Chains A and B, each alone.
Chain A
């Protein structure tokens, strides 16, 4: 017995430390293995796609890969005057290789986006190559200029040079209604074509007002929930949560039934004589529809954090405020309201961030004036197939949310958020 204790004592000191560390390490590995599936899941479904989105949004390797010789020769070109013979030759051989791989069309389209007229310019070169009209033993520069006079214009060569870097921020600029001017500087698009900026502002505006409406409606509900006796508050809680248990599409569709011009709400207005039958107001396919539907759908996200915070506020605090001489309003404003700020912060942040990226509801009831930036992103994903632009806008939205979160943290402090 005593020898055993001695043995333990001899292993004390450093050996004990080592064995403790060993045991702890085992526990740490166990703990890590438990969260590993989630970590892996997050990496696969979140970090990886965002990384992919980012690289796609700035990716401009296509032309870089298509015109390797051209860009190699262009390194020596100052970009101010017409490039030398070598650049022409480089382009010619690059293009010829593309023609053989039948990828020349893509290049034409891509360059056309950079500078109008490139499509026809390259097509004429393509025809001449097909008919083998280009004599490779003499100056290619002169022959190309003969094929199309655009080859003699320095702007076209500058446009090609601009596509040389494998990465570009052009998509981000496009999202802000800006573009790279021919001289490489950043310029604004014409005023009547600045659709994205309008969309950004509208998204912020709608998200802001939806948050405000949710707050104004959710605060009293949450207060009622927190103060009613259990049997009523449970029922009310079910009413608040009911929308959660209904499909988003069903809820949006029911708003369509309610709000359309021949819908129930309009019928009711006509019935009570508020509006004439032939001048029913449009409450859908515009901002009104978006406001109404989004406020209803996002309301639980405001109510729940508020409720959980209000539940913890002892009713005797309001009583104390009143018994100390504060009017009911003063007791509310000085005592109750400041204590609910963590809940307000959490609710507003939650609703605002959800609203800013909302898609289905504005797409269905928003019409032209009620759509948000996310609808534009979806449009580019599905219709124009400009995924890199969609990715760029998605990332701009994400960084916008992060900025808001940062501002909120500065103003209120994230530690003050209470979700429950």
Chain B
């Protein structure tokens, strides 16, 4: 079976609730069959609206949504065959776990034996066998969450939507559930569209991530590329930690540019700058800057340590560097650790390829 690269397709979709503001602007997004795609963005960025349009609870103002080549804009939610996991689980409180899972099968008039089999299979998938006769209120948050996942999968939908399903769980449970959902996805190969505002969740689970801001997809790429090669300063800021320098391009060639800061110059990788005189924001990941660089790096500066914070696996060092006192360094806590003392001067270096000159903030 060849995978359809356009299994779900948003084709020039606009959405406005009040006719004045577009919540989603000209969205063009293809989701491949069996893919785990995450819509990531701050609240109000339009990601949940996209999910609701796909589920059928909202209609696009403009454009079409296609599922496996068919336009579904006019199909009511119950005929779309899309499973959904809601933020607050939305388990039916008056039904047992079994009845909750059997609901989508019963409305499809599945035979009783078949229902039993499928419910059993779905429950074993989330390792909740034996909980059939419990009421949702008798389950813990994580268990309810797993029941919700099982219920969204039990009728073998082509696509499963998840709307911040882990938002209500505590940190440890959230992390273990992330892996669990990822493994379920891998084992049954269903297409998952996942909405979250938690970037680490998105990076952990997804095949691809669509970063939403202001009703638009800012970047659509796999987690590594998203983190390593953000295409604009919003993505660079939103995903992971980031050191930024605001300045002006004074010299540019193919893969290097010189950016003039308030009182110094740095070399950077020109991503979204084209010519001299452009304003730019240079973004550098904290772990890409090294203390006392041994090999020749093309950016070498000296900064004063302002603050040292111990984080267990690494130490965060805040430096006063190039006129900014917000420069962050992440130093792994290895055995050959350096003595870092506040108000000492240290040498810092990084490669210009890691310093991405993006659009100005």
A residues neighboring B (CB under 8 Å): 314, 316-317, 319-328, 330-331, 334-335, 338-339
Contact = CB atoms under 8 A, between A and B. Distances in A.
Given A322-B77, A334-B103, A316 B86 contact: yes
Given A330-B107, A334-B103, A323 B84 contact: yes
A335 B91 CA distance: 10
Given A316-B87, A328-B78, A323 B92 contact: no
A335 B80 CA distance: 19
Contacts of A322: 56-57, 76-78
Interface of B: 55-57, 76-84, 86-88, 90-94, 103-104, 107-108, 151-152, 155, 161
Contacts of B161: 323
Contacts of A335: 92
Contacts of A314: 88, 90
A331 B88 contact: no
Contacts of A316: 86-88, 90
Contact of A339 (B86, B94, B103, B104): B94
A320 B78 contact: no
Contacts of B104: 324-326
Nearest to A320: B90
Nearest to A336: B92
A315 B64 CA distance: 26
Contact of B77 (A323, A330, A338, A339): A323
Nearest to B93: A339
15 contacts: A316-B86, A320-B90, A321-B103, A323-B56, A323-B77, A323-B80, A323-B83, A323-B161, A325-B81, A325-B104, A328-B76, A331-B78, A334-B103, A335-B92, A339-B93
Contacts of A321: 92, 103
Max chain B C-beta neighbours (<10 A), residue from A317, A324, A327, A335: A324
Contacts of A330: 78, 107
Nearest to A341: B94
B94 A338 contact: yes
Contact of B84 (A320, A327, A331, A334): A320
Nearest to B99: A334
A321 B104 CA distance: 8
Nearest to B55: A323
Contacts of A325: 78-79, 81, 104, 107-108, 155
B55 to A, nearest CB: 6
A211 B179 CA distance: 54
A291 B161 CA distance: 50
Contacts of A319: 55, 57, 77, 84, 86, 90
Given A320-B84, A324-B155, 15 more contacts: A314-B90, A316-B88, A319-B57, A319-B84, A320-B91, A322-B57, A323-B55, A323-B82, A324-B83, A324-B84, A324-B103, A324-B107, A325-B78, A331-B78, A339-B94
A150 to B, nearest CB: 71
A324 B151 contact: yes
Contacts of B77: 319, 322-323
Given A319-B57, A320-B90, A339-B93, A326 B107 contact: yes
Contacts of B94: 338-339
Contacts of B76: 322, 328
B148 to A, nearest CB: 8
Contacts of A327: 78, 107
Contacts of B84: 319-320, 323-324
B14 to A, nearest CB: 23
Contacts of A317: 90, 92
Q: Which 8 A-B pairs give the minimum distances between C-beta atoms?
A: A324-B104, A320-B90, A323-B84, A316-B90, A322-B77, A316-B86, A326-B107, A322-B78
Contacts of A326: 78, 103-104, 107
Contacts of A339: 93-94
A338 B92 CA distance: 10
Nearest to A330: B107
B169 to A, nearest CB: 17
Contacts of B79: 325
Contacts of B91: 320
Nearest to B103: A324
A320 B76 CA distance: 13
A359 to B, nearest CB: 39
B67 to A, nearest CB: 14
A326 B78 CA distance: 6
Contacts of B108: 325
A322 B80 CA distance: 10
Contacts of A328: 76, 78
Max chain A C-beta neighbours (<10 A), residue from B76, B87, B88, B90: B90
A283 B200 CA distance: 70
A328 B86 CA distance: 18
A314 B55 CA distance: 18
A334 B106 CA distance: 11
Contacts of B86: 316, 319-320
Contacts of A324: 78, 83-84, 103-104, 107, 151-152, 155
Contacts of A323: 55-57, 77-78, 80, 82-84, 161
A417 to B, nearest CB: 16
Contacts of A334: 103
Max chain B C-beta neighbours (<10 A), residue from A323, A327, A331, A338: A323
Contacts of B93: 339
A324 B76 CA distance: 12
Contacts of B88: 314, 316
A309 to B, nearest CB: 12
A321 B57 CA distance: 12
A325 B83 CA distance: 9
Max chain B C-beta neighbours (<10 A), residue from A320, A322, A326: A320
A330 B88 CA distance: 21
Contacts of B56: 322-323
